[in-house]
Amino acid sequence: MSRVNPAVTRAGISGIEVNKVLKNTYMLLSATLLFSALTAGLSMAYNWPYPGMILTMVGYFGLLFATQRFRNSSLGLVFVFALTGFMGLTLGPIISFYVKSIPNGGHLVMTAMGGTGVIFLALSGYALTSRKDFSFMGGILMAGILVAFLAGIGAAVFSIPALSLAVSAMFILLMSGMILWQTSEIIHGGETNYIMATITLYITIYNLFLSLLQILGIFGGDD
C-alpha cells in the first residue's frame, strides 16, 4: 500500500526518501496512538477530571509549538509523546463520561473507534494507491477548520446543541479531507518531516474520533 514510484516528486525528493518518510510517520503514529491510549486508560482508572477547555488549549498549543520548534531534533520526539500523552489524558474523562453516563455508552465508544479506524485506513489507502495530488485542498481545509473551531467554541459557550452537532459533522468531513491531504503531501514530497506529519495525522484521528462519538451519543444514546 505504501509503494511509491521512484521518480522525483514535486518537492524534488526521490521515491526512496518518500517511502522513508511514510514508514517513519506510520511507525511513530502507531506508537503515539498506543501511548495516548495508555494515558487515556490511566486517566479513566484514576478518575482524573477533565482539565477544562482553557487548560486543554494552553497545553495543546504550547506542546504543539514546542514540537514544531524542535521538529528537526531528537527533542521533537519527546514533545510528540508529551503532546499525544497529554491529549490522551484529556480524552480519558470524556470516554468515562460516555461509558458511565450514557445508555449503551461502551458500545458507542467502540463504534466510534471502529469508525475512525475504517475512515482512516480507507482514505489513507486511497491516497496511497491512487497517488492523486490533493494539495489543492490545503487552503480550503485550513479555512474550514478555523470556522469549525470558532463555531465549536460558540456552541460550548452558549450551549447550542444543534450548532454542536453541526460542528461535529463539519469536523468529520474536514478531518477526512485532512487525511487525504496529509497523505498526499507525504507521497508527493510536500511534507518531508515525519514528526510534523505524525502530529497532523494524530490530531486528525483524535478529532475524528471525538466527532463521531458526539454524533453517536446524540443519536444512539437511548438504544
What number is the average pLDDT over the span 106-133? 95
Q: Does residue 8 register a pLDDT over 50?
A: no
Question: What's the chain's average pLDDT?
Answer: 90
**5 lies in some domain:** no
Give the long-range contacts of residues 40-44, CB within 8 A, separation 24 or more: 40/88, 40/89, 40/91, 40/92, 40/95, 41/92, 42/89, 42/92, 43/88, 43/89, 43/90, 43/91, 43/92, 43/93, 43/96, 44/92, 44/93, 44/95, 44/96
Q: What's the total number of domains in the chain?
A: 1
Percent of the chain with pLDDT over 90: 75
Question: Is 8 inside a domain boundary?
Answer: no
Please report whether residue 10 resides in a domain. Answer: no
Q: Is residue 61 part of a domain?
A: yes
Q: Would you state the pLDDT for residue 154?
A: 87
**103: helix, strand or coil:** coil
- pTM comes to 0.90
CB 197 within 8 A of CB 178: no
Q: Is the pLDDT of residue 14 over 70?
A: no
**pLDDT surpasses 90 at 32:** yes
pLDDT at res. 101: 87
Per-residue confidence (pLDDT) for residue 12, from 0 to 100: 56
pLDDT over 70 for what percent of the chain?
92
> Residue range 148-174: average pLDDT?
89
80 has a pLDDT exceeding 80: yes
The pLDDT of residue 221 is above 80: no
Higher pLDDT, 7 or 199: 199
**Residue 1 within a domain:** no
Predicted confidence (pLDDT) per residue in 42-56, tens digit: 999 999 999 988 899
Structural domain includes residue 87: yes
Residue 9 domain-assigned (yes or no): no
Residue 19 has what pLDDT?
87
Domain boundaries, position 177? 15-220
Residue 13 — very low, low, confident or very high, per pLDDT cuts 50/70/90? low
User: Does the residue 67 lie in any domain?
Assistant: yes
